[in-house]
């Protein structure tokens, strides 16, 4: 089934070949795949067919039609899991940073689902054969707690709790800067970035998104905050914090690896570089999760310790 979208070349864009531009801005795209699509007419610039070597100009509208790959069935793999809780209906697992939740283009193996299939005799069914048991997701480089369904009944009841927002989740993040207000709410609509399809952005036509935050501790140029989601949009915390001018420390996608706050002295820059060497991803962890057990009706709550890379950064800041 074809999937269509448009990219508007941003005003500040410097000269670049169309195939290079798309390879850098379309998720899971390669230059070879992009060139083939351009030559087949799946890419139009202002409604016209062009060559892969076409130089993009600010304001041009690039229309892309993609043929989605058919879903592939996930296979069991012997991958260690950090299981916090398990019973006949569900599991609560602590996903490490760097692990993709379920197989997708470019990541067909080594995912949480592959590990779950090896560990469990059964998982709940899903319309997508690559997502058995999966009710919600965490980004590849976000660590933390996830609940997984073993039965269809558990899946349906837990999914309903997510839908009506009675699932309790708390995230901890290390962010850039000292936040003036100790607690508050960020509300801004989110959607795909029109200039870079690999990113999400605050856009007027996007879906409503609300994030609550509270500052736990402030350092010279970084802060430790806890966050609760009233909605569950893709990259919500990361985009909201970047929009709030306090991006998640270490986030390579949303400006978290640039020095944003601080004195700017050589000593501080060296310190920041050392801290960034300690963490190669966004310093974001899904610390707690709470829900009503789908079979027993018992209220359940789970907490997890911060991963070692975030602890290392915090211990360095405390010194």
**Residues carrying an active site annotation:** 139
- Main-chain phi, psi angles of 82, to 5 degrees: -95, 95
Cα 292 to the center of its chain, rounded Å = 25
Cβ-count burial of 103 within 10 angstroms (0-12 exposed, 13-18 middle, 19+ buried)?
buried
Which residue in this structure is represented by tokens 């390579």?
A: 252
- H or E element at residue 239: helix 236-243
Give, as one character, the DSSP assignment of residue 71. P
CA distances from 211 to 97, 167, 258, 269 (A): 22, 15, 23, 30
Half-sphere exposure of 144 (CA within 13 A, CB side): 23
Computed from CA positions of residues 304, 310, 315, 317, in that sequence, does the dihedral angle turn out positive or negative? negative
Cα 211 to the center of its chain, rounded Å = 15
Q: For residue 261, what are its two tokens?
A: 């706050």
- Main-chain phi, psi angles of 45, to 5 degrees: -115, 115
SS3 37: helix
For residues 66 and 37, give the distance between their C-alpha atoms in angstroms, rounded to a whole number. 8
Q: For residue 130, what are its two tokens?
A: 């690559």
**Ramachandran sector of residue 245 (left: φ over 0; alpha: ψ -120 to 50; beta: rest):** left
Give, as one character, the DSSP assignment of residue 248. B
For residues 156 and 127, give the distance between their C-alpha atoms in angstroms, rounded to a whole number. 13
């Amino acid at each position: 089934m074809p999937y269509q979208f448009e990219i508007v070349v941003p005003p500040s864009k410097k000269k670049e070949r169309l195939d290079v531009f798309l390879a850098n801005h379309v998720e899971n795209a390669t230059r070879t795949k992009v060139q083939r699509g351009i030559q087949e007419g799946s890419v139009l610039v202002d409604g016209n067919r062009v060559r892969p070597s076409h130089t993009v100009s600010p304001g041009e509208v690039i229309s892309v039609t993609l043929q989605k790959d058919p879903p592939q069935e996930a296979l069991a793999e012997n991958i260690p899991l950090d299981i916090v809780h398990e019973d006949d209906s569900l599991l609560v697992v602590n996903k490490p940073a760097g692990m993709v939740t379920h197989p997708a283009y470019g990541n067909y193996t080594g995912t949480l689902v592959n590990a779950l299939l090896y560990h469990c005799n059964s998982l709940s069914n899903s319309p997508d054969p690559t997502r058995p048991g999966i009710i919600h997701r965490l980004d590849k480089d976000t660590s933390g707690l996830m609940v997984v369904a073993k039965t269809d009944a558990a899946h349906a009841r837990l999914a309903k709790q997510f839908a009506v927002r009675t699932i309790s989740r708390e995230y901890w993040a290390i962010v850039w800067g000292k936040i003036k207000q100790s607690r508050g709410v960020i509300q801004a609509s989110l959607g795909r970035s029109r200039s870079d399809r690999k990113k999400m952005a605050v856009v007027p036509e996007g879906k409503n998104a609300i994030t609550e935050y509270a500052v736990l501790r402030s350092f010279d140029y970084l802060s430790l905050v806890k966050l609760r989601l009233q909605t569950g949009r893709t990259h919500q915390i990361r985009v909201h914090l970047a929009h709030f001018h306090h991006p998640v420390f270490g986030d390579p996608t949303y400006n978290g690896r640039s020095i944003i706050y601080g004195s700017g002295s050589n000593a501080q820059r060296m310190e920041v570089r050392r801290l960034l060497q300690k963490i190669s991803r966004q310093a974001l962890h899904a610390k707690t999760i709470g829900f009503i057990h789908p079979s027993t009706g018992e209220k359940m709550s789970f907490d997890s310790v911060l991963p070692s890379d975030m602890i290392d950064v915090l211990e360095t800041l405390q010194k």
